[in-house]
Amino acid sequence: MRTWSEEGRALEVHIRHLPGPDGGWPAATREPGELFLYNGAVAFDRLGGARVTRVDTRALCVEWTRQLNDTRATGEWNYPGSVGVLSDGYVYAVYGYRLSRLEPRAGELLGTVELPTGQSRLDTTYNGFVALPDGNLVAKSMHRRPGTRANGFWALARGGLVGTPSDLPVVDPRTLAVVSNLTAPEHLLGRVTAAVHRGKSFVYASGINNVYRFAYEAGVLRLDEGWGPVPYRQEGEAPASAITAGDGWIFIQANAGPGLTPFHIHAVSQDGAARIHRLQPFPGHPLSFNASKLTYDSANRRVYTADGTIGKLACYDFDPDLGFSKRWEVEQGSYSFLVLMGPPERRVPVSTELADT
């Protein structure tokens, strides 16, 4: 792992390795020293199902692990879901076609709700959720081709893109009940993003070719046909990952799967989708790939992006009128999310660094 100053200078960082469960994916914090890790589901078939693990970040030790499902026994698609901690203090995890609430101190499973499935449960997974201002959650389904028994990302790579539209259920975490459900116009691949703009709540998601916006009110989502859909994928690019929102804009980049041309980053105004800025940060390469979304620093209006296959990481200033201008670029390959630390005047981006093999 390597960190960078806002000027693009490398900074020293010390890493201590945590002995513990494999297949770590997203994580969430609660009180100081508490980390809740979603693990047990990555690209490989050898892992047996979703787990939530509590880690003591001071002692760097595992305190408990809760197994949520056993995909080897059930044949369910084992794909990385997500974990989060809400203001009620409980831990929530989405995995397969279920969402569960856990007690944080001992990991007791307190309740589970089954989510809508547009096709066989074995071939449906939910890859994330977001919390809305009223406390409700929105989750989003993905589907693998029936008969494909590959797990993780391999199910998408080997089975191809399925035409089954995604479900977008609204869940009340207090009752663990599905309040409403909307079927999207297409199969949505990137994780959902929530944003409040001009006092209204919206949910954004990327499909194979388009970005969609859904307006949210009183527990119900509806497709915002007055805003989109917005085509984003250029020739040779693979579909996008999740969307980042900030300052009245959304930001998206393609090639969440390997692309035959370097991805573009797009900024689309939340006021009107006709207002778009677009840039290709790493041109001139035959292959490109980063499954993670880009990072936006709202305080400084800066975008950070990386390409693991090309092996570059860059920072761009963003101007709502002029678009993107390069601040710095370094040689560093990463497939991970970029984390920003420190106050706005001393911002430090933190990123994994791919090792040479």
Instruction: Give CA–CA dist 19/1, Å, rounded.
Output: 17
Residue 186, in any domain of the structure: yes
Alpha helix locations (H) across 5-112?
71-74
Say how many domains are in the chain. Answer: 1
Give me the domain span that covers residue 301.
2-14+105-351
Residue 97, in any domain of the structure: no
In our burial notation (b when 16+ CB lie closer than 10 A, e otherwise), range 115-147 reads bbbbebbbbbbbbbbbbbeeebbbbbbbbbbee
In degrees, rounded to 5, the angle at the alpha carbon of residue 348 between the alpha carbons of residues 342 and 354 is: 140
Instruction: Give CA–CA dist 327/314, Å, rounded.
Output: 8
Let me know: does 306 contact 265? Beta carbons within 8 Å. Answer: no
Closest CA to 248 of 211, 225, 223, 273: 273
Residue 291, in any domain of the structure: yes
In our burial notation (b when 16+ CB lie closer than 10 A, e otherwise), range 278-310 reads ebbbbeeeeebbbbbbbbbbeebebbbbbbbbb
Q: What is the pLDDT of residue 8?
A: 62
Q: Name which of 44-48, 209-213, 345-349 the model is least confident about.
A: 44-48
- CA dist list (Å): 171 to 176, 183, 215, 341: 6, 15, 16, 32
Residue 229: cis peptide before it, omega within 30 degrees of 0: yes
User: What is the domain-level CATH number for residue 278?
Assistant: 2.40.128.630
Rounded to an integer, the average pLDDT of 174-202 is 96
Q: What is the pLDDT of residue 19?
A: 47
pTM above 0.75, yes or no: yes
Q: Which residue has the higher pLDDT, 146 or 222?
A: 222
Q: Name which of 16-30, 56-70, 212-226, 270-284 the model is least confident about.
A: 16-30
- CA dist list (Å): 338 to 31, 196, 251, 305: 23, 23, 14, 8
Residue 213, in any domain of the structure: yes
Residue 63, in any domain of the structure: no
The token duo for 19 is 């002995």
